[in-house]
Amino acid sequence: MLKSFEEVIEKAIHFGPKRISVAIAQAEDVMKAIEEARKIGLIKGILVGNKEETIQVCQKLNIDPRDYEFIDEQDKNEAARIAVKLVRDKKAELLMKGMIGTDRILRAVLDKEIGLRTKRLLSHAYVLKLKNYDKLLTVTDGAMNIAPSLEQKVQIVQNIINFCHCLEIEKPKIAILAAVEVVNPDMPACIDAACLSKMADRGQIEGGIVDGPLAFDNAISKEAALHKGIDSPVSGEVDAVVVPEIESGNIFAKGLVYLAEAEPAGVLLGTTAPVILVSRSDCPISKVRSIALGILMSTYWK
Ligand code: COD
């Protein structure tokens, strides 16, 4: 099991360098990340966007533009489509969101003609390293699916189990979060959580141990769970938490980053090739970590 981003990066370096297409690279934090990833042998970059501005950023950061391939496109939507198509046409192995809104890049990824769709639901993994938790904790889905149905949650859970396998977690422990741990019929998140848990018991979701509904305290702390008389196979050892909808996941993950100094990374799951999807405000190193996760996915994802 890979328990830290250092281990993830170390492992990913063995499979690099991979070709990555970057949608809108003309931003300092994007180029800092790309250059760092290139230097440590993770990637070779194809930079799509405003070439002149990207070269200016490179010069400011003492980056040699000759180390990169450029595709000049001023329009952001068109640049996103070109970056996606490069992956679709196998001219790049990974896609990275640069200085562009999440919804714009997602629309290009979802495009029926040039996109990276598969038969699966696409979902997002927000991977966090916390100071007081001894392994990586992944939150899903706080960035793509706005209000998933039960059917979509089944796929979100299956995606996150498959993602955990890429981190060499043999039987990942997945907590389905709600506000309480009993099934309250007035709380739809509880009902979905109970269904998902039972579906995993019956083999309708495979490859992990799934339990819910669990309030976050009982998911993350065995002690808290036992205190409430809950004997859960995932309590205190969760690899991933599944949140009810996008707002709770997004607020929760960003709350941990800004208030608890969690180190973040983010990738999209269920695409034909890995998509690095981090917040524009995330620091360059979080983008390098995300690229490393993407490389592991391009090697291990099933
Ligand atoms: N997986 C697979 N296919 C999908 C998915 C998905 N998760 N979502 C939509 N599709 C398919 C649909 O079946 C349809 O064929 C096509 O894509 C368009 O679907 P719509 O009309 O629902 O898609 P859009 O373009 O209106 O919205 C898709 C977005 C991903 C843009 C939308 O869901 C969205 O804005 N999500 C939140 C993104 C965001 O702002 N995140 C911020 C966090 S940083």
Are residues 284 and 196 located together in one domain of the fold?
no
User: Looking at the structure, do residues 99 and 142 belong to the same domain, yes or no?
Assistant: no
Same domain as 247, residue 173: yes
CA distances from 28 to 44, 62, 215 (A): 18, 11, 39
Within 13 Å of residue 146, how many CA atoms lie on the same side as its CB? 3
Atom of ligand 1 nearest to the CA of 103: 31
If you compute the radius of gyration of the chain from its CA atoms, what whole number of angstroms results?
A: 19
Q: Are 269 and 160 in contact (CB under 8 A)?
A: yes
Residue 116: closest CA among 160, 156, 85: 85
Q: 49 and 26 in contact (C-beta within 8 Å)?
A: yes
Give which of 110, 137, 108 is closest to 125, Cα–Cα: 137
Q: How far apart are CA 198 and CA 203, in angstroms?
A: 9
Pair 191, 220 in one domain: yes
**Residues 23 and 146 grouped into a single domain:** no
Q: Residue 2 Cα, ligand 1 centroid: separation in angstroms?
A: 31
Residue 297 DSSP SS3: helix
Nearest-atom index, ligand 1, CA of 152: 7
Number of domains in the chain: 2
3-state secondary structure of 282: coil
Domain that holds residue 275: 5-117+271-297
- Best residue among 144, 149, 269 to mutate for probing ligand 1, ranked by most atoms within 8 Å of CB: 144
**CA 279 to ligand 1: nearest atom:** 44
Ligand 1 centroid, distance to 72 Cα (angstroms): 27
CATH number at residue 112: 3.40.50.10950
pLDDT in tens, the chain (302 residues): 999 999 999 999 999 999 999 999 999 999 999 999 999 999 999 999 999 999 999 999 999 999 999 999 999 999 999 999 999 999 999 999 999 999 999 999 999 999 999 999 999 999 999 999 999 999 999 999 999 999 999 999 999 999 999 999 999 999 999 999 999 999 999 999 999 999 999 999 999 999 999 999 999 999 999 999 999 999 999 999 999 999 999 999 999 999 999 999 999 999 999 999 988 778 889 999 999 999 999 999 98
CATH number of the domain to which 194 belongs: 3.40.718.10
Domain assignment of residue 89, yes or no: yes
